[in-house]
A and B are shown apart, each in its own frame.
Chain A
Amino acid sequence: MSALLERLAEARKEGNVARLAEAIPYARWMQIAPENGTGELLTRMRYHPELIGNTFLPAIHGGTLGAMLEMAAIFHLLWETETETVPKIVNITVDYLRSAPPGRRDRLRQGDEAGPSHGQRLRRSLAGRPVAPRRDGQRPFPR
């Protein structure tokens, strides 16, 4: 069993989704981690100064918000499906509705089950829907 599979198995057994982030170097570096304390899967990106993309406004780098949406979708699939490897993203579309001021609140991202792939920033949090179509073209993952 690979290290990743072991980590996945442990996280599922403990019911502690946060352990998934420990297995992914980029998630650790970015401080992006899932949490399920409220009963639904949320992905949080902790604020740190290296997220800044505009020092004048200031605002968080748009690329980091896209990265966080991607990681939220990956965590959702790792947690809700039986996948044995890190899912590969085919594509992502991000609509930027306004700038994200830093340091006031962490970015939150809720995984949802279906619908068009989009991210929408609301107040200081971020909500969106990942969708991963199944090979047979039936209902989207996760279900």
Chain B
Amino acid sequence: MDKDARIALFQQWFSDNIPHNKALGLKVIGASRGFASMQLDWREELVGNPETGVLAGGPLTAMLDGCCGMSVATMLKAPEPFATLDLRIDYVRPAEPGKAVIAEAECYRITRSVAFTRAFAHHGDAKDPIAAAAGTFMLGTKGKATRPALVDKP
């Protein structure tokens, strides 16, 4: 599967098919084994401080949760349901009003039952982060697999 096809597949599963991610307008911009990247465009509805125009924490929380989850999906050999166990986010500095936010997540360890992820949100320079996240996911939860496995290694 080539890069564009992978991105299109994950865009469908992690944004178009997930109502909240779709409502936020999350765009999948990167997908490879163990790695996920998404973009969130600034818009007025997502502002948390009306005096400064800075985004609320919530949209970043939802994006980082989704992006960490997608990084787990890229590691699965076969589709399998999984769920967020815990998520910690450090808000390092405010997002700049009007600017798109990019999230990059890595699944750095996966066992039979748990996947460990970390992520950063930034405006294009990962060395200058807006937020840092660490999340763990439980694999093999009840229900149908809602997410695809990455069928080949990039």
A residues at B contact (CB < 8 Å): 2-4, 23-30, 49-57, 61-64, 66-68, 70-71, 74, 85-86, 88-96, 99
The answer to whether A95 touches B86 (Cβ under 8 A) is yes
Q: B20 to A64, Cβ gap below 8 A?
A: yes
Report Cα–Cα, A50/B94, bound state, in Å. 25
Given pairs A3-B50, A63-B65, A66-B62, 4 additional interface contacts (CB within 8 A): A23-B50, A29-B46, A62-B87, A67-B62
Asked whether B21 lies within 8 Å of A24 as measured between CB atoms, the reply is: no
CB < 8 Å: which of B18, B48, B81, B84 contacts A24?
B48
* Inter-chain contacts of B46 with A (CB < 8 A): 25-26, 29
B90 close to A (CB within 8 Å): yes
Interface contact tally, CB-CB below 8 A: 136
Contact of B49 among A64, A86, A99 (CB under 8 A): A86
* Residue B114 CB within 8 A of the other chain: no
Q: A61 contacts B65, CB within 8 Å?
A: yes
The residue on B at minimum CB distance from A61 is B20
Task: For A61, list chain B residues within 8 Å (CB).
Answer: 18-21, 62, 65-66
Interface contact A63-B50, CB-CB below 8 Å: no
**One of B27-35, B52-60, B122-130 at the interface:** B52-60
Q: How far is the CA of A58 from the CA of B73 in the complex (A)?
A: 19
> Contacts A71-B58, A89-B91 known; A63 to B20 CB distance under 8 Å?
yes
Report the Cα distance A38→B129, complex, angstroms. Answer: 41
**CB pair B83 A63 closer than 8 Å:** no
